[in-house]
Amino acid sequence: MGRLLEAYPADSLVVLTGSHASRVSTTDGRLPCTHIFFPTSKGWGRWGIGRIRTALDWLRLSWLTVRVIRLIKLYSSTVIITILHGRFYFAVWAAARITRTPYIVFVHDYYLNDKRSIFGKIVRLGTQVALRDAAKVFAISPGMRERLQSDLGAESEVQLPATKAHPKDANQRVWIRNENPCIVYAGAITNAVEDCLGLLIQVLIDGALKPCGIDSSRIQLYSAISPEQVKARGWRHPDVHVSSWISQADLPRALSKADILFLPFSFREDVRDSIETAFPSKTADYLASGRPILVFGPKYSTLVSYASQEGFAEVVDEFNAEALARGIQNIALSPSRQKTLGTRSLETFSRNHDIERQRREVEQLLGKVASVKRAGPAS
């Protein structure tokens, strides 16, 4: 959202967010506008404290609604943008109805998996109403669009993750047969990628690439992970290099040094719902780099489906060390394959992930939606 609204006039934006989210999030990429924080808890804790905290957050919903109404009036807001997550969007729905202010919903993650409890059913019903009344709903992937339609009966438009085009000199590279490739992963290490990263590192440690004609390889991780966590996962190895999280401004330079960009999505069954609907934001940065991409994930994932359709990556869709090694081999030892993947990455980026085009489209939408409120109800 920061990327999408970065070029929007700062004096025309106000961000209302939870205090806990503000504490745990990075400051990099925050919009240079007014930020207002609403008290929220971390939502968990021992001996039932987490449930109490969550209950209190829900009880504060009416207070949050009043706060949104006051902000709409104070800043003469004509459009509200909200994200379908947590509880804030319920307050947006209520405040929007009271003030007759249109709102737009972005859906990046799907978390409405409680279909049995009474509380879960109430939340789903409320979400259906909130999506129905929205002026526009954007889904992060085709899988998310299908889920919103099948589960909630909501119509939405796909808006894939986007970023700025990388400098042209960062995309220039000579394609060669590479028996010593550098494999780069840049992003958070969560349960959505950890199993895949673990197998990649194990392939390197076990020397599984040597029978494929690759003498040596190096893995470079750019992520917020401590030395203790690296050791606990068994990832300590001379050819596994771990660097801290890098800023968006420095990312193009880091990605340009890669021979292969590793783009994983978990095979774990317990996160399947997320893998079928979510979409890694780093995909846009990878595509903008023009470097060869290796997608590693299950067939049912949004990522494998998209990569197979667009043809911008070598796809490995089975959780198998030999298959993963072959995928690396197919890129590293084939200059023609490298060139093809690099070219298609840039084409896919230009077509679907260029933030400049998305900004223009969203700004046009905001103007159109805002004009409805300014015109007022028909007589």
The pLDDT assigned to 178 comes to 84
Range 125-129 contact pairs with CB under 8 angstroms and sequence separation of 24 or more:
126/90, 126/93, 127/84, 127/89, 127/152, 128/152, 128/153, 128/154, 129/93
Q: Work out the number of other CB atoms within 10 angstroms of the CB of residue 109.
A: 14
The pLDDT assigned to 378 comes to 40
The CATH superfamily assigned to 2-162+355-375 is Glycogen Phosphorylase B; (3.40.50.2000)
DSSP annotation of 6: T
For residue 261, give the nearest of 238, 284, 295 by alpha carbon.
Answer: 295
Q: How far apart are CA 184 and CA 118, in angstroms?
A: 45
State whether residue 17 is helix, strand or coil: strand
Q: How far apart are CA 181 and CA 25, in angstroms?
A: 33
The pLDDT assigned to 172 comes to 60
Looking at residue 109, its amino acid is: D
The pLDDT assigned to 248 comes to 81
Can you give the pTM of this predicted structure? 0.89
For 250, residues 6+ apart whose C-beta sits below 8 A from its C-beta are none
**pLDDT averaged per 10 residues in sequence order, the chain, 379 residues:** 90 92 78 92 75 87 96 95 94 96 95 86 95 97 96 96 83 76 94 96 94 93 91 93 86 92 97 95 95 97 97 97 97 96 96 95 92 57
Q: What would the two tokens of residue 347 be?
A: 């084409």
Q: How far apart are CA 19 and CA 39, in angstroms?
A: 5
For 272, residues 6+ apart whose C-beta sits below 8 A from its C-beta are 298, 300
For residue 16, give the nearest of 107, 104, 91, 121 by alpha carbon.
Answer: 91
Q: What would the two tokens of residue 311 be?
A: 């043809």
- pLDDT tens-digit series, residues 270-316: 999 999 999 999 999 999 999 999 999 999 999 999 999 999 999 99
- The answer for 36, left when phi > 0, alpha when psi is -120 to 50, beta otherwise, is beta
The pLDDT assigned to 86 comes to 87
Q: How far apart are CA 108 and CA 162, in angstroms?
A: 13
Give 363: exposed, middle or buried? Use CB within 10 Å, 0-12, 13-18, 19+: middle
The pLDDT assigned to 24 comes to 75
168-352, what's its fold? Rossmann fold (3.40.50)
- Bridge partners, residue 182, by sequence: 218
The pLDDT assigned to 171 comes to 54
Residue reference for tokens 């958070």? 188
DSSP annotation of 103: E
Domain layout of the chain by residue ranges? 2-162+355-375, 168-352
Q: How far apart are CA 340 and CA 313, in angstroms?
A: 9
DSSP annotation of 10: G
Contact 243, 220 (CB under 8 A): yes
DSSP annotation of 181: P
For residue 93, give the nearest of 102, 202, 338, 307 by alpha carbon.
Answer: 102
